[in-house]
Amino acid sequence: MIGRRLSPNLALNQLVARRRGDGESIVHLGFGEARLPAFRPLVERLVAGAERSLYGTVAGSTAVREAAAGYFTRRRVAAAPDQIVVAPGSKPLLMALNMVIPGDVLLPRPCWNTYAPQAAYAGKRAFGVPIPDECGGVPEPAALRETVRAARARGHDPRIVVLTLPDNPTGTLAPPSLVREICAIAEEEDLYLISDEIYRDLLHDPARPVLSPAEVVPRRTVVTTGLSKSLAIGGWRIGVACFPDGAWGRDILAGVTSFASEVWSTLAGPMQEVAAYAFAEPVELREHLAAIVRLHGAVAREVHRSTVAAGATCRPPTGGFYIYPDFEPVRGALERRGITDSDSFQRQLLDEFGVAVLAGHHLGDDEGALRFKAATGQLYGETQEQQELALRAEDPLRLRHITETLTRIEESFAKLCR
């Protein structure tokens, strides 16, 4: 069934833009975008690629697929260029996977707001499985097993598990031990894994161990990633999928490429030029990324501190630019203000305090819970100059334009919970 409403995060982003356009001052924690200037060498590659105006190969040029294969191989996911497909964003690749892999879908709950609608468009059921206390992005293993068995007993066919490593919305990374447990269940229950690793290069501590399920059960894992988040070029739309070696992987890749050929044809030529450069990870790009990561980490930790100071519980963020606080401990104070569920929470934060967040029920969470996602990637300044300053600052939290915004957030949460 095709709906008529925009995806809630994009709808909220447009609402914020409209209200700001009308003169309202809004702190935007409601959209997963890093507000940073495009790195100069990327712009240069884009311009250099402008002459590439013909349709290209559906899966992407050899050069871009070689670069992406190298990118995955350096992350211990050995890949050859013919296991790679590039596309205008990882979103269409995830949709294609939904169309091509048979069976129903198992999702961590909460999870990114697009997984469930995509499954629905593909005619699949989506089963939400609670996440563990320690992190998001993976279902709690015992609950996963139970959900699979219960669904099969009712005649459904859960077959695909989506993992987000690191996670949107919690900003956390599942440890290797948990990933291994999920992989073991996948083997036992004959499940396939889609590992969405779009935040992988945004781990705040680069030494933190990352295990992709593609290292453990390579034949049953497809990995997706892209440049939207790590390099803050979401509007350029560059995504990539890495398919398993072997008969199943080849079949799914053929299906995704066929779908691509009927829907988007190919990734735009200039973007392939950018992607070939970026996936080769030259040293200047790695240094730029390291600066981005430091900034995300510092600001996400500070917003996390504000929510905890106001009385919420919240998993400490370790990757990306999100936190997912739970205000249940201060439910009494919120109820006195008329905030009784996740919907009224989002509404009042915006209307009374001018703070935009995305309510948890949009992410599959309980409507009655007092949880939301705060995306912290838009707090680096309104102008390119401010954003550059933030990127280069030894301590971005001491920059006036950032301090002012963080103080407003802290005061809003504190006042709300008083």
The footprint of ligand PLP (CB under 6 A) covers 32, 89-91, 112, 164, 168, 196, 198, 226, 228, 234, 239
Output the smallest distance, CB 375 to ligand PLP, in A.
9
Phi, psi of 222 (to 5 degrees): -110, 135
In 252-321, which ranges are E strands? Answer: none
- CA 339/CA 292 separation, integer angstroms: 35
Q: Between 176 and 234, whose beta carbon lies closer to ligand PLP?
A: 234
3-class SS shares of the chain: helix, strand, coil, % to 5: 50, 15, 35
Q: Between 96 and 198, whose beta carbon lies closer to ligand PLP?
A: 198
- CA 344/CA 334 separation, integer angstroms: 10
What is the chain's alpha carbon radius of gyration, rounded to the nearest angstrom?
21
Q: Between 196 and 302, whose beta carbon lies closer to ligand PLP?
A: 196
Q: Between 276 and 416, whose beta carbon lies closer to ligand PLP?
A: 276
Q: What is the DSSP letter of 131?
A: P
Q: Between 202 and 417, whose beta carbon lies closer to ligand PLP?
A: 202
Which residues are CB-contacts of 23 (< 8 A; sequence separation ≥ 6)?
Answer: none
Output the smallest distance, CB 234 to ligand PLP, in A.
5
Output the smallest distance, CB 411 to ligand PLP, in A.
28
**ω into residue 102 within 30 of 0, thus cis?**
no
Q: Between 196 and 215, whose beta carbon lies closer to ligand PLP?
A: 196
Output the smallest distance, CB 33 to ligand PLP, in A.
8
Output the smallest distance, CB 237 to ligand PLP, in A.
6
Angle at 120 between CA 370 and CA 268, to 5 degrees: 100
Which residues are CB-contacts of 68 (< 8 A; sequence separation ≥ 6)?
Answer: 60, 79, 81, 84, 86, 240, 242, 275, 279
Residue 182's Cβ-side half-sphere holds a number of Cα atoms within 13 Å equal to 34
User: One-letter amino acid identity for 113?
Assistant: N
Find the largest Cα–Cα distance for the chain: 61
Cβ(292)–Cβ(396) under 8 Å?
A: no
Q: In the complex, which residue's CB is closest to ligand PLP?
A: 89
Phi, psi of 223 (to 5 degrees): -105, 135
Q: Between 355 and 358, whose beta carbon lies closer to ligand PLP?
A: 358
Strand (E) or helix (H) holding 409: helix 400-416
Q: Between 8 and 244, whose beta carbon lies closer to ligand PLP?
A: 8
Output the smallest distance, CB 247 to ligand PLP, in A.
27
Output the smallest distance, CB 239 to ligand PLP, in A.
4
Output the smallest distance, CB 410 to ligand PLP, in A.
25
Angle at 109 between CA 299 and CA 83, to 5 degrees: 85
Output the smallest distance, CB 362 to ligand PLP, in A.
12
Q: Between 31 and 345, whose beta carbon lies closer to ligand PLP?
A: 31
